[in-house]
Amino acid sequence: MKIKVGFGFDVHQLKDHHPFMIGGVNLAHHKGAFGHSDADVLLHAICDALLGAANLRDIGFHFKNTDPQWKGISSIVLLKETMKLLREKGWEVNNVDAMLCLEAPKINPHIPQMQQNIAEAMAMSVDDISIKATTNETMGFIGREEGVVAYAVCLIQK
């Protein structure tokens, strides 16, 4: 059996009166993440962790932000496509551990739904998807609510 670890990172600008998708959940907030797709920072970090672990480059390589095909698309679709790429190479995912960093809104009430969305997209158990959240203690661009950051690690096996 071969085992590999992957790490992913993503950041998106926050803009007033913009939708805020995280983990496939549309959060009610006065600001939202801005990007070519739905700007779901958590799913993008997970995709990058998975692709990196399998040595399949990164999310921008597979889903270019200049390609109209991906404009406004749900990042759940990107995660499903990422899983297809991994499985085509014989990889299965053991687990994902992710961290969100933002000041608001509170993420904790939404974590079970995010885990469910991600587990379904990856055809995995919710027990294998860990999501945590923290603030930046009002410091920097995150503290000023100018952006949101996500980190993810994963373990894959063949």
Q: Read off φ and ψ for residue 144, nearest 5 degrees.
A: -85, 5
Q: What is the pLDDT of residue 65?
A: 86
Q: Is the pLDDT of residue 5 over 90?
A: yes
Please tell me whether 77 is known to bind a ligand.
Answer: no
Mean pLDDT of 2-14: 98
What pLDDT, on a 0 to 100 scale, did the predictor assign at position 72?
83
Is 44 annotated as belonging to a binding site?
yes
Least Cα distance to 152 among 108, 96, 102 occurs for 96
% of the chain residues with pLDDT over 70: 100
By DSSP bridging, strand 147-157 and strand 25-27 are unpaired
In order of start, what are the domains of the chain with their CATH numbers?
Answer: 3-157 (3.30.1330.50)
- According to the model, what pLDDT value does residue 68 have? 85
Task: Please state, rounded to an integer, the average pLDDT across all residues of the chain.
Answer: 96
User: Tokens for 2?
Assistant: 């071969």
| Residue 10 labelled as part of a binding site | yes
The answer to whether 145 and 101 have CB atoms below 8 angstroms apart is no
